[in-house]
Amino acid sequence: MTIRSNYSASLVFLALLTSNNLFGNVFNVQDFGAKGDGVILDSPAINQAIEAASDAGGGEVILPAGDYLSYTIRLKSDIILKLGAGCTLIAADPSGYDAPEAIEWNEYQDFGHSHFRNSLIWGENLQNVTITGPGLIYGRGLSRGNGPIASPLGSPPPAAIDGLLPDVLVADGEFEIPSRPDIVPGPFNHPNERDTLADGVANKAIALKSCRNVTLKDFSMLHGGHFAIIATEVNNLTIDNLLIDTNRDGMDIDACSNVKISNCSVNSPWDDAICLKSSHALGEARLTENVSITNCFVSGYDEGTLLDGTRKTTWKTRGGPHGRIKLGTESGGGFRNISISNCVFYHCRGLALEQVDGGILEDIVISNVTMREVQNAPLFIRLGARLRNPEATGPGNVARISINNLTAWDIAPEHGIIIAGLPGHRIKDVSLSNIQLHYQGGGTLEQAARDVPEMARDYPDPYNFGTMPSWGMFARNVENLSLSSVQFHVEEEDNRPCLFLEDVVDSRIFNTSIFNPSQLPQTKLTAVENLETRSVTGLEDGKLNAY
């Protein structure tokens, strides 16, 4: 009996030795006055707990089960902010958030990218910071970025956002591109009244700037405003096992390095799910580089229906729900050494790789990707000349992109793969291999005869290009393009060619099959030089020196 009692005591002692209470500083926000009742404002208590942990040299700040109504929470270095099981951190209705900081160069990107402190949670010039779950961040009172009032959960998008084309709600199958008289061509169109917010209004759930050694893991986010997460110049950033279901961007990674994003599910019907950017928010062009995105799921379901498991698809818009993985649009510094692997896309747009602001987009590897209900181009690679960057002297450089093992089913008929450089500025060294693409089809001879303008300075998105004159792939101004073991299928006869190549030089197409009931030619080649073909439907084996 004595032995057993001593053994039990030893276990208790061992548990104490391994507990945070003995070896670390733990600060429960309820000890600082937080009520967690969803009525009393708890942000003063939360910030007091963070200050106490910081004064103690670091520690863990815990929000136990409860509903914590909050204005701005200010992170500190060496802090773990833990959202406990049953915890919901709720963004209060606008009026009491930190004001946006002053910035000298906000003409080069929208208000949301230019300011960080008008957020539910923000941190600047910090190190060794973790936000962990398994609780929920609910951005109920956050602005979407186009007005002071937060849209209710599940609302459709407003008529126009940040100078982009209107997200017009349309009937099924009726996607018509309107003219754009309201958009003034040119690189600099900020700040503008549409996205500038008054003091006291927040538009981001989590904003981090100029930090290092940051981890975000194991929590959920709902209705995150303009950005559920925006990280700018964060080095050594780990984002793991998040579930984000939001009304605009899921996560924006801007001018960051050494970033690992894994095991995340992001639903964002009205904007991008996982988006790498390289804006001018720091006052200089800075690369986003050394980034891996793996084992992630992105989608464009109605907001809130990924989190609750119903996965509804009520709303229809021109161009379709966003929900994709994208590099761009802000790209003045550019992107280098990016790996995307083992990702699933559902009811959203496809991959977009965009360099339009004079920087670089180089050394990109994408593998093991599957897509279903693809709303526009399954793959969009664009070199443009918007040049919204004071350091830009001309179009940038897009080169060395490898995409392997991709399958896509039920692709919208307007766009196939689009790889579009500019005259005199070709996209270079693109390799596509082991790819299966299944399109809806139904294209017409009238669409096949369409001349696609260059649109060098336009906003880069497939829907701006309109319905393409080809159904499988449109490649223009490209050098060293390689296709190997690629299959193009249509479910309904399509009277456009599958492959449209213009100003494509020194390229190869091998083992490529085209399945289309139409008897019309499946390839259209214009100003094509040194194209080598082997086992390609509709083309003889050999080398075309000029066509």
For residues 377 and 414, what is the distance between their CA atoms, to the nearest angstrom? 8
Of 344, 343, 345, the residue nearest 320 (C-alpha): 345
Do 499 and 425 fall into the same domain? yes
Do 359 and 475 fall into the same domain? yes
**In-domain check, residue 6:** no
Do 249 and 377 fall into the same domain? no
**In-domain check, residue 14:** no
Do 118 and 222 fall into the same domain? yes
User: What are the tens digits of pLDDT across the range 49-61?
Assistant: 999 999 999 999 9
User: What are the tens digits of pLDDT across the range 422-434?
Assistant: 999 999 999 999 9
Do 406 and 519 fall into the same domain? yes
CB contact at 8 A, 357 and 286: no
Of 432, 410, 408, the residue nearest 419 (C-alpha): 432
For residues 248 and 28, what is the distance between their CA atoms, to the nearest angstrom? 32
Do 401 and 486 fall into the same domain? yes
Range of the structural domain that residue 90 is part of: 24-285
Per the structure, how many domains does the chain have?
2
CB contact at 8 A, 61 and 68: no
Confidence category of residue 11, pLDDT binned at 50, 70, 90: very low
**In-domain check, residue 541:** yes
Position 376 scores a pLDDT of: 94
Among 285, 308, 335, the domain-final residue is: 285
Q: What is the CATH number of the domain that holds 242?
A: 2.160.20.10
**In-domain check, residue 372:** yes
Do 68 and 206 fall into the same domain? yes
H helix or E strand, kind and range, residue 11: helix 2-17
Do 367 and 268 fall into the same domain? no
**In-domain check, residue 308:** no
Q: Kindly write down the DSSP assignment for every residue of 410-428, as one continuous string.
A: EE-TT--EEEE-BTTB-EE
For residues 155 and 315, what is the distance between their CA atoms, to the nearest angstrom? 10
Among 251, 285, 319, the domain-final residue is: 285
Do 414 and 278 fall into the same domain? no
**In-domain check, residue 2:** no
For residues 197 and 147, what is the distance between their CA atoms, to the nearest angstrom? 7
- Among the residue ranges 162-171, 482-491, 537-546, the one predicted with the least confidence is 162-171
H helix or E strand, kind and range, residue 319: none
Of 265, 291, 263, 266, the residue nearest 276 (C-alpha): 291
CB contact at 8 A, 252 and 227: yes
Position 164 scores a pLDDT of: 38
Q: What is the mean pLDDT of the chain?
A: 90
Query: How far, in Å, are 157, 199, 340, 412, 436 from residue 489 at the CA level?
Result: 33, 53, 25, 12, 8
Find the length of the chain: 547
**In-domain check, residue 383:** yes
Do 273 and 379 fall into the same domain? no
Q: Kindly write down the DSSP assignment for every residue of 212-246, as one continuous string.
A: EEEEEES-EEE--BTEEEEEEEEEEEEEES-EEE-
Among 256, 285, 314, the domain-final residue is: 285
Do 362 and 280 fall into the same domain? no
Q: How many Cα atoms sit within 13 Å of 246 on the Cβ side?
A: 39
Do 140 and 40 fall into the same domain? yes
For residues 333 and 257, what is the distance between their CA atoms, to the nearest angstrom? 12
Position 1 scores a pLDDT of: 37
User: What are the tens digits of pLDDT across the range 62-117?
Assistant: 999 999 999 999 999 999 999 999 999 999 998 899 999 988 888 888 888 999 99
